[in-house]
Amino acid sequence: VVLTQSPAALSLSPGARVTLSCRTSQSVDTYVAWYQQRPGQAPRLLMSDASNRAAGIPARFSGSGSGTDFTLTISSLDPEDFAVYYCQQRRRWPPTFGGGTKVEIK
Amino acid sequence: QVQLQESGPRLVKPSQTLSLTCTVSGASISSGSYYWSWIRQAAGKGLEWIGRIHTSGSTIYNPSLNSRGSISVDTSKNQFSLRLTSVTASDTAMYFCVRGGTDYWFDPWGQGTLVTVSS
């Protein structure tokens, strides 16, 4: 399954609301996760099953979608949120990842 | 808090074997129903799941590796390892070791180690 993330990059100011998109080439029900990778750090799990926040993830992060279209929303960007975000599906084996969206400081 | 740390040679010659080890700290590698995976990220590209192992010894690999990969576990050392044979420049990547459940969600991740394939 191919995951296409858009946009590839965007520049925003702290406090802005941002919506990231992930589209899958086949339906994956709600079996999508989102990861955040800050510069120089390992990815960390933000969201699983499309909308379940992982432990310790702030409430400003929310996920939605089903089938082939998924979104990750950050309600108000914090300086620590500037990072690359990846989506991943596990509905169809092998698990695959999207190419990422880079959120940069404007 | 579970932590993972990759180690191994940073430079491997073409056609040789890439070998990496992941040391798990903060918990026993045998505890819980966890699977231990390797994921890689080539420069400018997305993430690719390589394969995983359970401490029972069961393994499964991404077909994209064309049977070149193998993962083993050493519970006495709380480690698991990756071997990738017949490497080429396309195997140059950051390699991460990660913990996952039966559900193929991955958390936490090691910091990653950059392996370059070059003569």
- For strand A32-37 and strand A84-89, is the pairing parallel, antiparallel, or unpaired? antiparallel
* Tokens read off for B3: 């932590």
Q: Given a cut of 90, is residue B101 above it in pLDDT?
A: no
How does residue B32 score in pLDDT terms, banded at 50, 70 and 90?
confident
Instruction: Give the closest-approach CA distance of A45 to chain B in angstroms.
Output: 6
Model confidence band, residue B81 (pLDDT cutoffs 50, 70, 90): very high
Asked if A58 reaches chain B (Cβ–Cβ under 8 Å), the answer is no
Helix/strand/coil (H/E/C) assignment for every residue in chain B: CCEEEEECCCEECCCCCEEEEEEEECCCCCCCCCEEEEEEECCCCCEEEEEEEECCCCEEECHHHCCCEEEEEECCCCEEEEEECCCCHHHCEEEEEEEECCCCCEEEECCCEEEEECC
State residue A106's pLDDT score: 87
Q: What is the pLDDT of residue B82?
A: 98
| Non-local CB neighbours of A1 within 8 Å, separated by 6+ positions | A24, A25, A26, A28, A89, A91, A92, A96
Give the integer Cα–Cα distance in Å for B97 and B107.
10
Mean pLDDT across the stretch B24-33?
91
The CA distance from B33 to B51, in Å, is 16
Enter the tokens of residue A15.
Answer: 């406090």
Mean pLDDT by 10 residues, chain A (106 residues): 96 96 97 95 94 96 98 96 96 95 94
Q: Is the pLDDT of residue B37 over 90?
A: yes
Task: Chain A: give the shortest CA distance to residue B17, in Å.
Answer: 23
Mean pLDDT, range B67-84, rounded to an integer: 96
Write down the pLDDT at residue B80.
97
pLDDT score recorded for residue B114: 97
A42 touches chain B (CB under 8 A): yes
Q: Looking at residue B35, what is its pLDDT?
A: 95
Out of B49, B64, B108, the one facing A44 most closely (by C-beta) is B108
Q: What is the DSSP letter of A23?
A: E
Residue B24 has pLDDT above 90, yes or no: yes
